[in-house]
Amino acid sequence: MHELSIAANILDIVLNEISSGNYKRITGLDIIIGDLSGVVGDNVKYYFEMLSRDTPAWDATMTFEYKKSKFRCNSCEKIYERDSFSILCPYCNSGGTVVESYTSLYIESIEVE
């Protein structure tokens, strides 16, 4: 359940943004989630909506984009993306080595009014 603290962090960041600029409210949030972060966007959204009640971010539209980690196959050397169920090479079913990993979540952009 670390989505609760993630949602709290996001809220801190966007509320800071509001008070440092001269903005009335947050209208949108684009968030990027790495597939190896273990974070579920829907859970973050759920907690964010709960925590942001009575703040200028309460009706922000959240969109999530998932970044997929990339692997290089140890036997055929093709580059492939990890799918949800397997990290094996989809071409030959061998194991692979991670070449690009996305393990974190970050805020891509904030829309304000």
Residue 76 interacts with Zn ion (CB under 5 A)?
yes
In sequence order, the 6+-apart residues with CB closer than 8 A to the CB of 96 are: 71, 72, 73, 74, 80, 87, 88, 89
C-alpha to C-alpha distance for 42 and 37, rounded to whole angstroms: 14
CB of 92 to Zn ion, least distance (A): 3
- Contacting residue, 10, 26, 33, 73, with Zn ion by CB under 5 A: 73
C-alpha to C-alpha distance for 34 and 5, rounded to whole angstroms: 17
Residue 79 interacts with Zn ion (CB under 5 A)?
no
Question: Candidates 2-10, 42-50, 81-89, 104-112 — which segment interacts with Zn ion by CB under 5 A?
Answer: 81-89
Residue type, 27: T
- Contacting residue, 92, 108, 111, 113, with Zn ion by CB under 5 A: 92
Rank residues 76 and 99 by Cβ distance to Zn ion and give the closer one. Answer: 76
Residue 110 interacts with Zn ion (CB under 5 A)?
no
Q: What are phi and psi of 51, to 5 degrees?
A: -75, -30
* Interface with Zn ion (CB under 5 A): 73, 76, 89, 91-92, 94
